[in-house]
Amino acid sequence: MDVRVDIGTQVGPDRLVNTVAGFDRYGGNLIVVDFGTATTFDVVDDDGAYIGGVIAPGVNLSLAALHQAAAALPHVDISKPQAVIGTNTVACMQSGVFWGYVGLVREICARIKAERDRPMQIISTGGLAPLFQQTEALFDRYDEDLTMHGLRIIHDYNTEQR
């Protein structure tokens, strides 16, 4: 797989694994959004090359930072709130993080598509992807085992090369 980033830049192996798997399953011109410790956006070219992406703080990391940095804010679990306007601290935090990430995903993907000036599929994966998959049409597909699929492809390739 070709990695087309600035010389000296290291790309996380998880991001490359997702690129391999995404291209194998869906072809090129992809944005793979992975909801892990960080929320990453990986751009896959039409020939399967990794051409860069975006790294944002992960959802749970953002919630933990709110709790740790503001003594009055409790630890909360992420969930889709019943309303955008929260009427208590927990609901306010859940709304801010949930709808904030919906906006983050929508805007970053729109800007990537505009910059690439071509149709692109958006694939979601990672632990919190199902939560965000249930909201508006943010993603074309959800793939819960994308990373495992990529690891298998790379393993098979390396086994064949011996």
| Catalytically active residues, by annotation | 14
As a whole number of angstroms, the distance between CA 69 and CA 57 comes to 15
Which H helix or E strand runs over 50? strand 50-57
As a whole number of angstroms, the distance between CA 93 and CA 109 comes to 24
* 53 phi, psi to nearest 5 deg: 175, -155
Reading the block at residue 31, the tokens are 């944005």
CA atoms within 13 A on the CB side of 159: 6
